[in-house]
A and B are shown apart, each in its own frame.
Chain A
């Protein structure tokens, strides 16, 4: 299927940020509310305009919070949207869902949001690690954490093609350089050298500490509407040129294709086909980076380089400030903050709107003025993948 008729028909019109980092004494709900209100304000809309509300995955509450449901959030926003939705286990269909609702005529403005007090609330990922009742039998073997599961995939990749710390150190260090230009990044004032990368402790080998993303307090939201409506709003228009989705679904512990191709391969083809462009047309990337390796395998599966060519491709700051293919220009999940796919996607939107201050792509950072930015989102352990190609109209 090629939804080429939908190319550039929908747009992202507002980005909602909150205070972020380590912010004690805040409920998860408070970050959801703040992010939503700021997205509505940023788009220049009123709350009554919002007729769809889609939340990223529901987590069990920490720190005596209540469970954040779309009902609760709508109540606190004082809205009664036509559609409420929330995924429960990381399937990343939020933007495809929003577009479909608008295309079908059910909604006009769909608000997409995620928030958490994960850092102050000491959330562990996944929760099975610290719950008294682990959720699955993997715990009997001492198998815990997303880090271990992605590391399992990365280890197989190291066996099948040339990858490992020499590739990942480039990703970690380049993204840190972007974060050092971003005052709201959790790692803004913490430069990182290759030596720092290698000196950090193992978490689950082959991953060291700086291969792993941050855990953050805060929230992030954005609003999807038609490009036609976006033209009447206050921000520069950033349209969705292409979108793709794939759900490989297989649990990593039973996967016989651990080293890829991941869902990025099929979702990417769908998005590029819809946009009717190739990777050569991409000016920058905002890639879901739960781990350094995730960035490598995603770009590899999108076709930026062949299996095992990443080590050379990432070298010499290609993806860092001043590089020819900037990647994760906010610092990403590794060095800015963790708000699921909304960290990379809102950064893509903000870059194309030209609102990124010192880290703004273009002459300020010695990079190409961006017109087209490729964004990705990834759910569970390579089980769900979403690709968004954004364009400045």
Chain B
């Protein structure tokens, strides 16, 4: 079945990030001058205005900063996913990124819940169409058992 959801459209600034996703890596720029890890990508650090930039691969771990549950499909390709969750995840390394939370009932989610990235081959998940296209990484909530 054809993948009908919108795909990321890498541009000169975002291409390294989306290329990283194809290799199951979350890549972020790190300022060599002030160590700020930035998102979204840019030619110059917004903290110190240095253009001296390196790249890191993030651990893929973070916390749900906030999230919402869609009960209406604003795009027809998402109708079968309802209700689905988009979230802003605060990665351990610092950046706040938009993603999906998959693999659990939305009603158990909470802000500051730990989550970890899952890379999908496209067979089940919404945002990962195929291995040779830029994909969007969804995060899975880590539901720790109570002792």
Question: CB within 8 Å of B: which residues of A?
Answer: 124, 129-130, 134, 137-145, 148, 151-153, 155-156, 159, 201-206, 252-256, 258
Provide the bound-state CA to CA distance between A205 and B7, in Å: 24
In the complex, the number of residue pairs spanning A and B with C-beta atoms less than 8 Å apart equals 106
Q: Which of B86, B96, B97 contacts A142 (CB 8 A)?
A: B86
Contacts A156-B65, A253-B97; A140 near B71 (Cβ below 8 A) = no
Q: Which of A155, A202, A253 contacts B98 (CB 8 A)?
A: A253
Query: Do residues A254 and B39 form an inter-chain contact, with CB atoms below 8 A?
Result: yes
Q: Which of A130, A137, A151, A202 contacts B136 (CB 8 A)?
A: A137
* Chain A residue, CB-CB nearest to B72: A203
Query: Do residues B75 and A142 form an inter-chain contact, with CB atoms below 8 A?
Result: yes
Contacts of A255 in B (CB 8 A): 88, 96
Query: Do residues B96 and A253 form an inter-chain contact, with CB atoms below 8 A?
Result: yes
Q: Mark B71-112, 1 if CB is under 8 A from A, else 0.
A: 110110010010110101010000111111000001000111
Contacts of B29 in A (CB 8 A): none
Can you name 13 extra interface pairs (CB under 8 A) apart from A137-B136, A144-B75? Answer: A124-B74, A137-B9, A137-B14, A143-B98, A152-B88, A153-B66, A159-B111, A201-B71, A202-B83, A204-B69, A253-B96, A254-B40, A258-B65
Contacts of A203 in B (CB 8 A): 71-72
Query: Do residues A204 and B40 form an inter-chain contact, with CB atoms below 8 A?
Result: no
Query: Do residues B65 and A140 form an inter-chain contact, with CB atoms below 8 A?
Result: no
Query: Is B8 among interface residues, defined by CB-CB distance under 8 A?
Result: yes
Contacts of B96 in A (CB 8 A): 253-256
Contacts of A252 in B (CB 8 A): 88
Question: CB within 8 Å of A: which residues of B?
Answer: 5-9, 14, 18, 39-40, 65-72, 74-75, 78, 81, 83-84, 86, 88, 90, 95-100, 106, 110-112, 126-127, 136, 138
Nearest 5 A-B pairs (CB), nearest first?
Answer: A144-B74, A159-B111, A139-B6, A202-B71, A205-B69
Contacts of B111 in A (CB 8 A): 155-156, 159
Contacts of A159 in B (CB 8 A): 66, 110-112
* Chain A residue, CB-CB nearest to B71: A202
Query: Do residues B86 and A140 form an inter-chain contact, with CB atoms below 8 A?
Result: no
Contacts A124-B74, A145-B74; A140 near B69 (Cβ below 8 A) = no
Contacts of B9 in A (CB 8 A): 137
What's the nearest-Cβ distance from chain A to residue B117, in Å?
Answer: 13
* Chain B residue, CB-CB nearest to A144: B74
